[in-house]
Amino acid sequence: MANAIASNGSTSNNSIIACPNVSQSGHTSSNIPADRLTSAQVRAALETINIAPGSRLSRYARYRAFTAGIDADDLLQEAILRAMTSRSCPAHIAMVHFLMGVMRSIASKVIEKRERAENALLQYGRACPNAPLLPDAALAFAERADICRRSLEKIAGGSPKTQAVVDGLGHGLCRKALADFANVDQSDLATVRKTIKRRVASIWTKLDELEDAA
């Protein structure tokens, strides 16, 4: 091992002893860069990635979205947004791999939240199998059920094709499975999904306004 160079430019008398575990898989080298990308560097890196249909990121987004029961495009866009805002990307990690990690984290949290809600519901059902709802709770439940029913009718807009896609989404289907279920081709499916997203956004905006007014 070569002698270490002292701070004054001369050669130190003490040799640096190599770590005996450097070749082991569990070894963490101090030479691994720990710097983080700046906002400008993140944006520049994002401009170089490929998110077109069939790309590596697009395929990974579809897989993670499928496991969490969410929309793949929304998942990918959310990952990109977080990369530009709330997440810090290490300089030594490729942007593609970083976005994959962010999508995995988002999908995992969605799954965990759903599982907690389902477990809580099961526990409540076991603890109170025949407990009737209080009058106020029953009224609120009926009102929400009616709002949901009318909202779904507005989203479908009287179109059997749109209604079939909504039903398929309710079953957790996506892409080809959803297109087959609704008996539409991929082009029609994309158009219908855009219509659904637009109507959902409009309905949620109106519901928020009603809650604020209340």
Determine the structural domain holding residue 173 and report its residue range.
132-208
In terms of domains, do 169 and 184 share one? yes
Give the tens place of pLDDT for each residue, 35-81. 889 999 999 999 999 999 889 999 999 888 888 888 889 999 999 99
- Greater pLDDT, 64 or 139: 64
In terms of domains, do 103 and 138 share one? no
In terms of domains, do 127 and 137 share one? no
d(CA 178, CA 195): 15
Residue 71 has phi, psi (to 5 degrees) of -80, 130
Boundary-marking domain end, from 98, 131, 164: 131
Boundary-marking domain end, from 100, 131, 162: 131
In terms of domains, do 119 and 139 share one? no
- Greater pLDDT, 91 or 200: 91
In terms of domains, do 82 and 93 share one? yes
Boundary-marking domain end, from 79, 104, 131: 131
In terms of domains, do 119 and 137 share one? no
User: DSSP letter string over the chain?
Assistant: -PEEEPTTSSEEEEEPPPPTTTTSTT---TTS---B--HHHHHHHHTT---STTSHHHHHHHHHHHHHTS-HHHHHHHHHHHHHTT---BTTS-HHHHHHHHHHHHHHHHHHHHHHHHHHHHHHHHH-TTPPPPHHHHHHHHHHHHHHHHHHHHHHTT-HHHHHHHHHHHTT--HHHHHHHHT--HHHHHHHHHHHHHHHHHHHHHHHHHHHH-
Q: In this model, does residue 147 exceed pLDDT 80?
A: no
d(CA 139, CA 172): 29
In terms of domains, do 91 and 172 share one? no
For residue 179, tell me if it sits in a domain.
yes
d(CA 50, CA 208): 36
Give pLDDT, residue 131: 62
For residue 41, tell me if it sits in a domain.
yes
Task: Compute the mean pLDDT over every residue in the chain, rounded to the nearest whole number.
Answer: 75
- Greater pLDDT, 62 or 3: 62
Give pLDDT, residue 10: 40
Give pLDDT, residue 165: 84
Structurally, the chain folds into a number of domains equal to 2
Give pLDDT, residue 174: 77
For residue 138, tell me if it sits in a domain.
yes
Give pLDDT, residue 8: 41
In terms of domains, do 112 and 155 share one? no
For residue 13, tell me if it sits in a domain.
no
In terms of domains, do 167 and 123 share one? no
Using the structure block, give the residue that is written with the tokens 């593609």. Answer: 96
For residue 119, tell me if it sits in a domain.
yes
| Average pLDDT, integer, range 20-39 | 54
CA 116 to chain centre: 17
Q: How confident is the model at residue 5 (pLDDT cuts 50, 70, 90)?
A: very low
Give the tens place of pLDDT for each residue, 68-95. 888 889 999 999 999 999 899 999 999 9
In terms of domains, do 49 and 125 share one? yes
pTM of the model: 0.46
| The two structure tokens encoding residue 196 | 């659904």
Contacts of 107 (CB under 8 A, 6+ apart): 64, 65, 67, 68, 70, 75
